[in-house]
Structure 1
Amino acid sequence: MLYRGSCHCGDVTFEAEGDLQGVMACNCSICRRKGALMWFVPRDHMKLLTPDENLATYMFNKHVIRHRFCKRCGIHAFGEGVDPKGTAMAAINVRCLDGVDLDALPVTHYDGRSH
């Protein structure tokens, strides 16, 4: 299924395609603070519909994940990285997707604080 998402102000909009059957909640220092629920898709299944210049990037610790957020409203829309097999991935913040019933999605908790 194709999903459309955006930040709060609309300066960052995107589409992501895949089977949204669940989300991940991580307790690492940044995920805990931003409160995102993440859905992972191959990066080529996500299309940015607005200029990349509308996004800022934050990296920390091992600098392996690019945390992308709107320069104007500050909403974290997605992250970019590589999975253990070397596949480029996008971690979509499901809270930014239109028309998704968050209460209907099972949540997997990941202990990012310990990793």
Structure 2
Amino acid sequence: KLTLVAWGDDLGRYTFGEAKIAHRFCRTCGIHPFAEDTSESGERSAYVNINCLTGLDPSTLSIFDFDGRSA
């Protein structure tokens, strides 16, 4: 579950293509912390930029390839 500590006017939103995913960005620095999606069945998902998380070292994570275009 994604819980936002702060929202406010500093967080912008953009979409592209079919506009199915709402990409959020900081209006001050431009960082892309997360994106939101709602499936056709109504299930909500969030995609988090792990580089924005405090206390997480990305080099400790297992990485695997995923062909999202073919999914």
Q: Which has the higher contact order (CA 8 A, sep 6+)?
A: 1
**Which structure 2 segments of 5+ residues have no match?**
none
**Stretches of 4+ aligned residues off by more than 6 angstroms:** none
Match of 2:52 in 1: 96
Q: In structure 2, give the amino acid aligned to 1:95.
A: N
| More helix per residue | 1
User: Between Structure 1 and Structure 2, whose CA radius of gyration is higher?
Assistant: 2
Count of matched residue pairs = 71
Amino acid at match of 1:70: C
Q: Distance in 1 between matches of 2:15 and 2:29?
A: 19
Q: Which residue of 1 aligns with 2:30?
A: 74
Alignment RMSD (CA, Å): 1.9
Question: Identity over aligned residues, as a percent?
Answer: 38
